[in-house]
A and B are shown apart, each in its own frame.
Chain A
Amino acid sequence: MNYFAKMRGTTTSPPRVSLSEVFWSWTGAFLGIGAVAFINYNLLPQSDLLMLIGSFGASAVLIYGAIKSPLAQPRNLIGGHVLSALIGVASYKMLAPHMWLAAAVAVATAIAVMHLTKTLHPPGGATALIAVIGSEKIYALGYLYALVPAGAGACIMLVIALLVNNIPKTRKYPEFWW
C-alpha cells in the first residue's frame, strides 16, 4: 500500500459495548481507584509514602474497561508498572539536569523494555514519566518508587479487578497470568 493510501485507514472501529459492560467497567474502576486513593489520602498522609499516581487512571481503563486486551493482563499490569518505574527513577538520577532528555529516555526506554519482557502496558509509560516529572515526595522515594506506589498500587488494583471482573457471567479475568 502506498504511503498516503495507508493514512486513509482500511477498516471500521469495533462495536460499542453493552450497557452492562459499561456498568461493570464503571464499578471496577470506582472500587479500584477508590481503594488506592483511600489509602493514599486517608491512611498515608502522615508518612513519606504515597499510593496514588496518575498512571493508575490509565491502568483502570484497561483492567476494568478492556479486560480481554493482552495489555490489561496481570503480567503486563504489574511488570509494566514496576519495570517502567525503575527505568524512570534511573533516568532521573542519571540525567536530571537535562529534564527533557531524562523524560524522553525514561518513556522510550520503558516502552522498549516492556516490549522485550512481554509486559507492554501503556500506563507504564506514564509511570516512567512521573518518576522524572515527580513531586518532591516522589524524588525522595528513589528506587522505592518502583515498589510503592507503582508495584503495590498495581497489586491492589489487580485484586479489585479479579474480584469485580469475575462477578458477571459475561466477563472473566484474566485471560492469562504469565
Chain B
Amino acid sequence: MSQRTNPGPNPAELFSDEDVYEAMKKIPGYLDISAGDFKELYLLAYQHAETRLYNSVRVSEIMTREVVTVLPATPLAEAAARMAKHHITGLPVVREDGTVAGVLSEQDFFRNMGDGSQISCMALIADSLASGGCPALCMRGTTAGEIMTTPVITVLENTLLHEAGKLMREKGINRVPVTDNSNRLLGILTRSDLMHAFPDRGIL
C-alpha cells in the first residue's frame, strides 16, 4: 500500500471534466461513457478502495517502527528532555527485556506536578507565575516507572487497523504500543500514522 504523506484534496475535485476529456482522447476508439459518469465512477471506486484497504490493513503495515523509549528507571528529567528533543508528547516505557511496562505522557507529568490539579500546560504556567515557584521541581528524583500509566493498552502487530482505530477512539488515547505475543515492543501506532495513511477519512 502506498502511503501518502500529505492529506490530498478530494479526488473528485482533483480533476476537471476537461482532464477526463483529454484522457479519453488518449484512448483510441469510442468510449461509451461521459466524462461526468467517469468522474462519478472514479470517486466511488476510490472510496471503495479506501474502505477495502482500511478494513484489511494491519497495524504492523503503518506503525512507526523507530520508537523513542525510556526505561522504568530513567529519571523524569531525562525522559522529559528526550520527549522535548523528539517533539513527542508521550512514549512507551520499556523494560530491559524489551517488554512494555507502561506509557509515559504529558498527562502523567501534569498529574504529578504541584497539587495535581493542573491538567494543562497553561494551567501550570498560570500557577507558576502566581506562586513564583516551579511545580516541576517536586518531581526531581522521580523515575519514569513511578508516574507512568500502567497497565497499558497495547495491540498486537496483526491487529486490523480499523480495530486499533476503534480502540484508540473509545479509550481516548493518541498512541498505542504495538507488541508481539510476549508483550515485547515492535513499534507504536499514533493518531498521525492513521491520518497520514488515510487522509480522507475522519477516522479518529
Q: Verify if B33 is at the interface (C-beta below 8 Å from A).
A: yes
Which of these, A11, A17, A21, contacts B35 with CB under 8 Å? Answer: A11
Q: Verify if B29 is at the interface (C-beta below 8 Å from A).
A: yes
Are A15 and B21 closer than 8 Å at their CB atoms? yes
Are B32 and A21 closer than 8 Å at their CB atoms? no
Are A68 and B35 closer than 8 Å at their CB atoms? no
Are A17 and B36 closer than 8 Å at their CB atoms? no
Q: Verify if B25 is at the interface (C-beta below 8 Å from A).
A: yes
Task: Given the known inter-chain contacts A21-B28, A170-B28, A171-B28, please indicate yes or no for A11 contacting B33, CB distance below 8 A.
Answer: no
Are B36 and A68 closer than 8 Å at their CB atoms? no
Contacts of B37 in A (CB 8 A): 11
Are B28 and A17 closer than 8 Å at their CB atoms? yes
Are B29 and A21 closer than 8 Å at their CB atoms? yes
3 residue pairs, one from A and one from B, having the closest CB atoms: A11-B36, A69-B32, A170-B28
Are A12 and B28 closer than 8 Å at their CB atoms? no
Supply 18 further A-B pairs (C-beta < 8 A) apart from A11-B17, A12-B21, A14-B35. A10-B36, A11-B35, A12-B17, A14-B21, A14-B31, A14-B34, A17-B29, A21-B29, A65-B30, A66-B30, A66-B32, A68-B29, A69-B30, A69-B32, A71-B32, A72-B32, A170-B28, A170-B29
Contacts of A107 in B (CB 8 A): none
Are B24 and A14 closer than 8 Å at their CB atoms? yes
Interface flags, B38-70, vs A, CB<8A=1, else 0 = 000000000000000000000000000000000
CA distance A65 to B17 in the complex (A): 24
Task: Given the known inter-chain contacts A11-B34, A11-B35, A12-B35, please indicate yes or no for A67 contacting B29, CB distance below 8 A.
Answer: yes
Q: Verify if A13 is at the interface (C-beta below 8 Å from B).
A: yes
Q: Verify if A46 is at the interface (C-beta below 8 Å from B).
A: no
Contacts of A68 in B (CB 8 A): 29-32
Shortest CB-to-CB span from A71 to chain B, Å, is 7
Shortest CB-to-CB span from B3 to chain A, Å, is 33
Contacts of A70 in B (CB 8 A): 32
Q: Verify if A2 is at the interface (C-beta below 8 Å from B).
A: no
Shortest CB-to-CB span from B143 to chain A, Å, is 65
12 contacts between A and B (CB under 8 A): A11-B34, A12-B17, A12-B34, A14-B33, A17-B28, A20-B28, A66-B32, A67-B29, A70-B32, A71-B32, A171-B28, A171-B29
Shortest CB-to-CB span from B20 to chain A, Å, is 9
Shortest CB-to-CB span from B25 to chain A, Å, is 5
Q: Verify if A47 is at the interface (C-beta below 8 Å from B).
A: no
Shortest CB-to-CB span from A166 to chain B, Å, is 12
